[in-house]
Structure 1
Amino acid sequence: MEQDYLELYELQQIIREGVEEAVPGPVRVRAEIASIQQRGNGHCYMELCQSGPSGPVAKVRAVIWRSQAAALLSKFASATGAPLQPGVAVIFEVVVNYSELYGLTLVVGDLDVEHTLGEAELRRRETIERLEKEELIDLQKELVLPDVPYRLAVISAPDAAGYGDFRRHLLENEYGFAFDVRLFEATMQGDGAPNSIIAALGKILPVASLGQNDRVDCHSERSEESNFDAVLILRGGGSTLDLACFDDYDLCAAIARFPVPVFTAIGHDRDTHIADMVACEAVKTPTALADLFIGAVAQEDERIQDLAHRLRMGLLATVSASEAALDRRLRVLSLAISGKISVEEQKLSDLQSRIFTFNPRKLLESGYTLVTDPSGRLLRSARGLKAGDALDVRFPDGTVNCTVNG
């Protein structure tokens, strides 16, 4: 029975034969480098692409074999002053190779060094120049985080590994700090990403949807409409093409004008995107961004602990000084009271001596007498006495009744 199907290998052979027939020899092709990596074995692997108005329209693998890689890479770097890198558009001389096992690959035999920068890099430079001209590049740098930045608005895809890593690392921090994290979902790659991220910014703070010529007074109080201390844009890595959206002018301008500090963790180790340049601060990975906020809160916690310690020590020193001053005053008061008592005791002793000295009984015992009239009134003078007046004369051992004779 005749087969009504092809084996996969047979189909691949047909495709290979068709490719070899259609492109039998070397051909010059213009393409933009989406990614490039030179392996330890010396071979240089690339992903080439072409972009249209709505995004990438073609992609293909390419390779420069070890026998030519060093020479071609050196040739390009010497002529342009820059290495062969993503974003650069180059005219390559290639041989089309189709493998039944590995598919289509372009084998590079030479390159035209006159094409030093690709359209993406040109657009990137134009965007940077425009942002610099509009004084937007450093606008976010003027914003300052609060002392305890714990209310965080995160823009990311909900299923992104980077967001999961960030949330886990942040909320399970060793200090036990609590953070209020709210996710604002957005598309994080492709042509729709810039508008999606801008829409998320609008949900975080509607008043921040500013026009092209609007400016934010970064030194004024943060808008009362903001319930967040910072905005975090998390991507968690990807290819150069996937991350090209972070060089979009509209997105970068929206980030620059946003009145709340914006932090980026796009997660690309090799490239710095314009969104990183206009952000308040950029780090490479979401976990590094989590560490940044944990560190900020830890620093403030340490400062508060230090202030509390200094306050306790200050209070102890004040109490100790007050106790010492009180002890000194008590000693002075005690000495003063003791001195006063001694003086008064001496006065009392002197008074007692005087009382004892001038005691009438003592005077009588010394030979003096007291003369009174019958009513007991003490007579101090003979003036006024007349014959016949009765007198009482008191001696120490008794009283004698007398009559004045003349």
Structure 2
Amino acid sequence: MSPIRLSDLAYTIDSVLEENFGGKAMWVLAETSDIKNYPDRQYCFLGLVEREGNQTVAKLDAVIWRKNYPILRAFEAATGVAFARNIQLLMLVSVTYSPIYGMRLEIHQIDHAYTMGNIERERQAVLDTLVREHSQYVWLDQGQYITSNQMLDRPAVWQRIALITAPNSDGWRDFRQELANNPWGYQFVIDEYLTQVQGQGADKAICTQLEQIAGRATPYDAVVIVRGGGSQLDFGAFDTLRMGVAVASFPYPILAGIGHDRNISITDMMCHQSVKTPTKAAVFLIEHNRIFEENCLQLAYRVAEASRVAMQNAREEVDILTDRFRYGTQTYLRNRHVELAEKATTVRHLDPINVLRRGYALLSRNGQILTSADAFRPGDDVQARFADGTVQLIVTDAE
């Protein structure tokens, strides 16, 4: 067989591809890999692969040229997912070939709905696994996911906090500043567990920090996981089965403020309390403590008011009892005074002087009062006392 020139082979391939694929576009399902994006030049080179398990069964190069480059922004805006590797996409592509650069697929459109549906299917599969294989920590109740971490009691006051975040990140800064600048001057003790919170392996890194927190003797009031803003793909670490199990079963209340506005992650669904941002996580802690203080102030006011009312009632009761006692005493003394007056009158009436004044005499002998005629003997020397004086008598006869 006579050899042919490489250019002849290339043009033959070009002719065959043009005949079969020229001017045609088709929808292709593939996974992204090896992305080289050039936003300033507005084109993107990438690889498209198909896998069966861990085996790659097909791989082709692809490109998004300037005329179609806006589809990347449209994709990210519609899905909240950063255009990156390992994303399953449904794309409208055409086959292009260059004798110099080889064959590529030119991407014209990306089906946003497919990507969103695929992400949701993967997330639902994780949730189903949590309920099925970890039912001691996660269960469904009237369509709501309930976890052991959600059932933990909240302390009256949040004081000692374990903070999981990336070092010197916006999330770390926002959370610390909001706590430090709270208008009521509340003080918090914060132990930092700094680690990667997004990207490949972030879920494992976060779970390692959770294991360290659980293994310490420090009784934390809460664990706070925060991160700054970012694309939806950066939240992949918070949608894994590993994170779901770790958060749902954790022995301290977990507060998640992972900076998202669009979707709710599995971590949000499993944790004790979920808020949108690191700042709102700090606000949640502050407001909880403020409610406790207000309740204490209200109780103090109620105690003071109850004491004031009790003292007023007691004072009024004492006044009433005092009036009753005064009235009773006065009545008693008045009655006793009347009785004494009556007795004094009786005593005055019975006074021997008064009796003598009515014409009677009091006879006595040798100082002894004589009340019977038999007591007299002739010759006795008797004293007769009258009202106005005493007379000495001698008894001459006694019958």
TM-score by length of 1: 0.71
2:297 corresponds to which residue? Answer: 305
CA distance in structure 1 between the partners assigned to 2:47 and 2:357 by the alignment: 142
1:164 corresponds to which residue? Answer: 173
Say which is worse superposed, 360-369 or 287-296, in terms of deviation.
360-369
2:273 corresponds to which residue? Answer: 281
Residue type of the alignment partner of 1:132: V
Residue type of the alignment partner of 1:30: A
Residue type of the alignment partner of 2:316: A
SS in 1 for 2:367: coil
Give matches, 1:1-150, under 5 Å.
Answer: 30-32=30-32, 86=81, 88-93=88-93, 108-111=107-110, 122-133=121-132, 134-135=134-135, 136=138, 137-139=145-147, 140-150=149-159
Say which is worse superposed, 185-194 or 116-125, in terms of deviation.
116-125
SS in 2 for 1:109: strand
Query: Does the 8 Å contact 1:233/1:266 carry over to 2?
Result: yes
2:340 corresponds to which residue? Answer: 348
Q: Can you list the C-alpha shifts for 1:202-226, whole angstroms capped at 9, x where unaligned?
A: 121128xxxxxxxxxxxxxxxxx55
2:247 corresponds to which residue? Answer: 255
Query: Does the 8 Å contact 2:30/2:90 carry over to 1?
Result: yes
The answer on 1:265 being equivalent to 2:260 is: no
Residue type of the alignment partner of 1:398: G
Residue type of the alignment partner of 2:125: E
CA distance in structure 1 between the partners assigned to 2:392 and 2:63 by the alignment: 156
What CA RMSD, in Å, does the superposition of the two structures yield over aligned residues? 3.8
Distance 1:47 1:345, change over 3 A: farther
1:196 corresponds to which residue? Answer: 205
Residue type of the alignment partner of 2:259: G
Q: For structure 1, list consecutive stretches of 5 or more residues without a partner in the other structure.
A: 1-23, 34-43, 54-58, 77-82, 97-105, 208-224
The answer on 1:174 being equivalent to 2:183 is: yes
1:369 pairs, out of 351, 361, 376, with: 361
CA distance in structure 1 between the partners assigned to 2:241 and 2:69 by the alignment: 41
Residue type of the alignment partner of 1:378: I
Shift of 1:258: 0.4
1:383 pairs, out of 367, 374, 377, with: 374
SS in 2 for 1:142: coil
Shift of 1:384: 2.7
CA distance in structure 1 between the partners assigned to 2:311 and 2:114 by the alignment: 79
Distance 1:247 1:116, change over 3 A: closer
Give matches, 1:212-223, under 5 Å.
Answer: none
Give matches, 1:311-350, under 5 Å.
Answer: 311-350=303-342
Distance 1:253 1:89, change over 3 A: same
User: Alignment length, in residue pairs?
Assistant: 332
Residue type of the alignment partner of 1:243: F
Give matches, 1:231-246, under 5 Å.
Answer: 231-246=223-238
Shift of 1:108: 3.9
Shift of 1:85: 5.8
Residue type of the alignment partner of 2:308: L
Residue type of the alignment partner of 1:180: V
Distance 1:111 1:162, change over 3 A: closer
1:400 pairs, out of 380, 391, 396, with: 391
Residue type of the alignment partner of 2:91: I
Q: Can you list the C-alpha shifts for 1:9-38, whole angstroms capped at 9, x where unaligned?
A: xxxxxxxxxxxxxxx9999783459xxxxx
Distance 1:392 1:187, change over 3 A: same
Query: Does the 8 Å contact 2:91/2:107 carry over to 1?
Result: no
Shift of 1:122: 5.0
Distance 1:49 1:159, change over 3 A: farther
Distance 1:257 1:60, change over 3 A: farther
SS in 1 for 2:382: strand
1:38 corresponds to which residue? Answer: none
Residue type of the alignment partner of 2:330: S
1:56 corresponds to which residue? Answer: none
Residue type of the alignment partner of 2:179: L
Query: Does the 8 Å contact 2:230/2:259 carry over to 1?
Result: yes
SS in 2 for 1:391: strand
CA distance in structure 2 between the partners assigned to 1:359 and 1:343 by the alignment: 24
Q: Can you list the C-alpha shifts for 1:31-87, whole angstroms capped at 9, x where unaligned?
A: 459xxxxxxxxxx9999887998xxxxx99957858996xxx8xx9xxxxxx66635
Residue type of the alignment partner of 1:307: L
Query: Does the 8 Å contact 2:261/2:276 carry over to 1?
Result: yes
Query: Does the 8 Å contact 2:29/2:89 carry over to 1?
Result: no
Distance 1:341 1:31, change over 3 A: same
Q: Can you list the C-alpha shifts for 1:270-294, whole angstroms capped at 9, x where unaligned?
A: 2322212211221111001111111
TM-score by length of 2: 0.72
Distance 1:191 1:116, change over 3 A: closer
Q: Percent identity?
A: 28
Q: Can you list the C-alpha shifts for 1:322-353, whole angstroms capped at 9, x where unaligned?
A: 11111111111101100011011111111221
Say which is worse superposed, 258-267 or 83-92, in terms of deviation.
83-92
CA distance in structure 2 between the partners assigned to 1:192 and 1:169 by the alignment: 29
SS in 2 for 1:187: coil
SS in 1 for 2:337: helix
Residue type of the alignment partner of 1:91: M
SS in 1 for 2:283: helix
SS in 2 for 1:288: helix
Query: Does the 8 Å contact 2:160/2:220 carry over to 1?
Result: yes
CA distance in structure 1 between the partners assigned to 2:94 and 2:178 by the alignment: 47
Shift of 1:162: 0.7
Distance 1:339 1:48, change over 3 A: farther
Shift of 1:396: 2.5
Q: Can you list the C-alpha shifts for 1:362-385, whole angstroms capped at 9, x where unaligned?
A: 222221111000x21111111132
Residue type of the alignment partner of 2:93: E
